[in-house]
Amino acid sequence: MMPRLLPPAPGCRPILVWARALPPGAEKQLRHLASQPYVVEHVAAMPDLHVASGIAVGTVFATEHHVVPGALGGDLGCGVSAWRFPRTSGLPGRDVLERVLSWLAERIPVGDAVHRGRGQPLPLALASPPLSTQKLRHAWVRLAPRHLGTLGGGNHFLELDRDADGDLWLLLHTGSRGVGAAIADHHGRVARALGDGGLPGLSIHTAEGAACLADTQWACRFALANREAIAARALGVLEEALGVAVDTPSVVDVHHNHVAQEAHGGRVLLVHRKGAVGLHAGRRGLIPGSMGTASYVVEGLGEPRAFRSCSHGAGRVLTRSEARARIRPAALEHVLRRVVYDKGRTATLVEEAPAAYRDITEVLEDEADLVRPLLRLTPLAVLKG
Confidence tier at 90 by pLDDT (50, 70, 90): confident
Exposed, middle or buried: residue 355 (CB in 10 Å: 0-12, 13-18, 19+)? middle
Give the H or E element holding residue 286: strand 284-287
Residue 334 lies in a domain: no
Interhelix angle 177-194/134-147, rounded to 10 degrees, is: 160
Distance of alpha carbon 357 from alpha carbon 156, whole angstroms: 14
Q: In CATH, what number is assigned to the domain containing residue 64?
A: 3.90.1860.10
Residue 122 lies in a domain: yes
Residue 64 lies in a domain: yes
Residue 174 lies in a domain: yes
Residue 175 lies in a domain: yes
Distance of alpha carbon 79 from alpha carbon 18, whole angstroms: 21
Residue 88 lies in a domain: yes
Query: Which pTM value belongs to this model?
Result: 0.96
Q: Please write the tens of the pLDDT for every residue from 94-132.
A: 999 999 999 999 999 999 999 999 899 999 999 999 999
Residue 327 lies in a domain: no
Query: CA of 125: how far to CAs of 59, 117, 121, 148, 275, in Å?
Result: 31, 22, 11, 14, 27
Confidence tier at 88 by pLDDT (50, 70, 90): low
CB 374 within 8 A of CB 297: yes
Listed in sequence order, the residues at least 6 apart from 7 whose beta carbon sits closer than 8 Å to its beta carbon are: none
Residue 335 lies in a domain: no
Query: CA of 207: how far to CAs of 187, 195, 204, 211, 377, in Å?
Result: 12, 12, 7, 6, 45
Rounded average pLDDT over 219-239: 96
The per-residue pLDDT for 275 is 97
Domain count, the chain: 1
- 62: containing domain: 4-317+357-384
Q: What is the DSSP string of 150-163?
A: ---STT-EEEEEE-
- SS3 of residue 211 by DSSP: helix
